[in-house]
Amino acid sequence: MLIRMVRRELARHDRPENKIDAQRFHKEKLAERFVLKTPVLRKISNDIYRCEIRNRSKKEILSICDDLLAAGGGPERFMAFDWAGKLHRRYTSADFSRFELWLKKYVTNWGACDHLCGSVIGILLRKYPRLAPRVKKWTGSGNMWLRRAAAVSLIPAVRKGTGLADVLATAEKLLTDKEDLVQKGYGWMLKEASREFPREVFEFVLLNRRTMPRTALRYAIEKYPAAKRRQAMKKDW
């Protein structure tokens, strides 16, 4: 009944033009039943959570998220990740296995990857840094979304000034990745790390700039002064 209610709300706010706009941001073809603007989708998610979900147990809420994900569809996936993120104060390290399964089974584009990693997995990792080796294993995956997730999941921690060693080790593992969206993912991670650790990140960039793809390099140095950006981008080889 809850999933039917969710879909009624999605259908009520669905607009055909949204799919055209959404396709501009995704390389892969979208085959969604409903496509909603993110602010609208977030409001629907918040309203349903407040009225129907928040007073339930963590176990029940995560089970509902499982059901939403199994039902398929990007908006349902958005709600599942959104509701799981609202439980962050109740996370335990044991939740990692479930969230990793979600990543492997349900993430099919960069938006879903970044939502799950930024709002759920990354928050769990910040709370339990000892999980970092399990995330680092994703750098060797044949699944590009896991490789992107290995980087994006470290952003919440490094924004708080922790996890630099994991960031640099992950960037080194992904350094020559051929996928554009993986390059952008670890470049973004380095950019966020540069806010708290500007010297260390810049040293890493200078050391690896000859082999780092230009896409990743541009992302990584975005927050540095112009002179440092020119130094990093200079072709002297």
> How is the chain split into domains, by residue range?
1-90, 110-237
**Taking the alpha carbons of 185, 152, 82, 76 in that order, is the dihedral positive or negative?**
positive
- The Cα 127–Cα 183 span in angstroms is 26
Residue 163 in tokens: 């996890």
The tens digit of pLDDT for each residue in 115-131 reads: 999 999 999 999 999 99
The residue with tokens 């650790």 is: 197
∠ CA 191-38-16, rounded to 5°: 130
The tens digit of pLDDT for each residue in 180-225 reads: 999 999 999 999 999 999 999 999 999 999 999 999 999 999 999 9
Residue 35 is given by DSSP the state -
Q: What is 110-237's CATH number, 3.30.70.260, 1.10.3720.10, 3.40.50.2000, 1.25.10.90?
A: 1.25.10.90
Integer CA distances (angstroms), 131 to 50, 102, 135, 217, in order: 31, 16, 7, 27
pTM equals 0.89
The tens digit of pLDDT for each residue in 6-63 reads: 888 888 876 655 554 444 554 555 445 556 778 889 999 999 999 999 999 999 999 9
Residue 110 has pLDDT above 90, yes or no: yes
Predicted local confidence at residue 5, as pLDDT: 87
∠ CA 88-92-98, rounded to 5°: 85
The tens digit of pLDDT for each residue in 75-96 reads: 899 999 999 999 999 999 999 9
Phi, psi of 86 (to 5 degrees): -70, -10
